[in-house]
Structure 1
């Protein structure tokens, strides 16, 4: 069952990569990731605070992402969401990720497919990260994806304003964000 769920999530993620509106302004400057990320510090559990709606996260609430560094330098990823409500049935999808060469840890290619795919420039760009590694903003150049993440299930109004400001500065339309119900 887990293998089928992983394949289904991977297929949906791949189809979502091919279609969908961009949430970045057409005249936005090229997207830039943060200068550097200490990958070991980034590992662990992150709560999704808000996201751009995607087909592969339809009806997901209580969403988390957990990252674990592997001995080979790649990263195990476990994304979990609860179907329908924050208390709904948990659904998980696993992936393997690798840090893109020359990105100083800030651009990552995440592969949910059961077979390796060409990696290109990475599909997970950390575009804002606080000094304490407590909240982050993740997107990618096409503007179809944007996630606000936190180490805690909720953020303060000041942190939310900081994340919104970072998104706007990167050319993202924050009116497209969908809040994620957390515990």
Structure 2
């Protein structure tokens, strides 16, 4: 619904690696300047209620990018900022390194606050689109999110496991909008063995 606190290196040589991160949403997306547009055939949801969207979301599936590569158990936490924006904390577990990783950012509405069209930043003034184009308007139990182009897509849920019929409907929606759903990675949320304590690490 965010550069970072010890997940993405803040060294200048790594700034070039910044792209868009989720969602919120799982996301998270890493912002780069000028990337706040809406992809073709994507329409942000109306009647969006931020207060119902806040809280923890589980990343069910994603189109993979370097900033999330190899991560499982990915979640996004959204809380309200004093300036009316949204605090974003994305976490994921790297089995290869045996560590958790975290990215912190901020998000703001691009247009009206009842439209699911936001911009998110994990680094200074650089923002990227966070577009909610399918949503459980009744209970806010699932969300379909994309970035500024069709290489960014996330399926988010309030629980680590999503009903098959809900997943199928979201996949159908994404495919109809022109996303390559065959490239989606479904995120592992199986229980970790004891001893996997959360800790901040640099993402490389």
TM superposition score normalised by structure 1? 0.81
Alignment match, 1:116 = 125
Whole-Å separation in 2 of the counterparts to 1:170 and 1:8? 35
Greater shift, 97-106 or 53-62, is seen at: 97-106
Alignment match, 1:24 = none
TM superposition score normalised by structure 2? 0.73
Alignment match, 1:76 = 87
SS of the aligned residue for 2:175 comes to helix
Q: CA deviation at 1:77?
A: 0.2
SS of the aligned residue for 2:165 comes to helix
Q: Tell me if the contact between 1:6 and 1:112 (Cα under 8 Å) persists in the aligned partners.
A: no
Whole-Å separation in 1 of the counterparts to 2:48 and 2:9? 29
Q: CA deviation at 1:103?
A: 6.0
SS of the aligned residue for 1:5 comes to coil
Q: Tell me if the contact between 2:130 and 2:148 (Cα under 8 Å) persists in the aligned partners.
A: no
- Correspondent of 2:44 among 24, 33, 46: 33
**Which has the larger helix fraction?**
1
Alignment match, 1:93 = 103
Q: CA deviation at 1:30?
A: 3.1
Q: Tell me if the contact between 1:98 and 1:109 (Cα under 8 Å) persists in the aligned partners.
A: yes
Q: Tell me if the contact between 2:133 and 2:144 (Cα under 8 Å) persists in the aligned partners.
A: yes
Given the alignment of the two structures, is residue 144 of structure 1 paired with residue 151 of structure 2, yes or no? yes
SS of the aligned residue for 1:55 comes to coil
Q: CA deviation at 1:167?
A: 0.8
Q: Tell me if the contact between 1:96 and 1:110 (Cα under 8 Å) persists in the aligned partners.
A: yes
Given the alignment of the two structures, is residue 182 of structure 1 paired with residue 184 of structure 2, yes or no? no
Q: CA deviation at 1:13?
A: 3.2
Q: Tell me if the contact between 2:134 and 2:143 (Cα under 8 Å) persists in the aligned partners.
A: yes
Q: CA deviation at 1:156?
A: 1.1
Q: CA deviation at 1:162?
A: 1.4
Q: CA deviation at 1:105?
A: 3.6
Unaligned runs of 5+ in 1: 19-27
Q: Tell me if the contact between 2:31 and 2:120 (Cα under 8 Å) persists in the aligned partners.
A: no
Q: CA deviation at 1:149?
A: 0.3
- Correspondent of 2:174 among 131, 145, 167: 167
Q: CA RMSD in A?
A: 2.6
